[in-house]
Amino acid sequence: MCMKPIVLASASPRRVQLLKMAGIPFQQIVRQHDEPALNVPLERLPEALAAHKAQYYEDLAQQTIVLTADTIVILNHEKIGKPKDESEAIQLLEQLNGKMHRVITGVCLFYQQKRYVFSEETKVYFHKVPHHWIVHYVRNYSPFDKAGAYGIQEWWGAVAIQRIEGDFFNVMGLPIAKVVQWLNKIGYDFP
């Protein structure tokens, strides 16, 4: 397979950053799509959502690889979503405060009618931090477009994360090393 730009079907600035970091040529194309209620186990939901998003790019997948992804945060077997506002962001971070949660990103590489779907899971352990740290973070870093209401690469990650087990970049929204391995498996000429 020749080295054509990949289509990143995501508006995430973190996914853009990670593809650039890996030196993968891409173009970003974002199309509106619905997010259905899927009857799958919570741990499989990111893969199912990533595969679902791919259908909106079928015309592009004939000529190039389309990359779709979905990241969720799970605390005590419940999905923690993106906060709608400041109050909800503070509430979500209070729920995660001092606890371990899981971050799962599902990825779909769609090319010539074939979907290659995989996921990565990372465990994230938070220190117990004072309430005013949470308020400071939410007011100064606006984490409203992030599952779990935080970015590991921001101030919060530096001061509140005790440790992680797994892929750091997965918590940012894309397990980039695994993506590169899968691209290699399907014949993408990299680097």
Using CA atoms, how far apart are residues 145 and 4, in angstroms rounded to an integer? 29
Per-residue pLDDT of 10-61, as tens digits, reads: 999 999 999 999 999 999 999 988 777 888 999 999 999 999 999 999 999 9
Q: What are the pLDDT digits (tens) for 98-140?
A: 999 999 999 999 999 899 999 999 999 999 999 999 999 999 9
Domain boundaries, the chain: 6-185
- Over 60: is that where the pLDDT of 141 sits? yes
Question: How sure is the predictor about 169, in pLDDT bands with cuts at 50, 70 and 90?
Answer: very high
Average pLDDT, integer, range 80-87: 94
* Residues that are catalytic: 70
pLDDT value at position 3? Answer: 58
Q: How much is the pTM?
A: 0.94
- Check residue 37 and give its pLDDT: 80
Residue 73 pLDDT exceeds 60: yes
What pLDDT sits at residue 39?
Answer: 87
CATH 3.40.50.2000 fits 6-185, yes or no: no
Question: In which region does residue 180 sit, left (phi positive, over 0), alpha (psi from -120 to 50) or beta (all else)?
Answer: alpha
C-alpha distances (whole Å) from 110 to each of 88, 119, 188 are 35, 14, 12
143 upstream amide cis, omega within 30 of 0: no
Model confidence at 155: pLDDT above 70: yes
Average pLDDT, the chain: 94
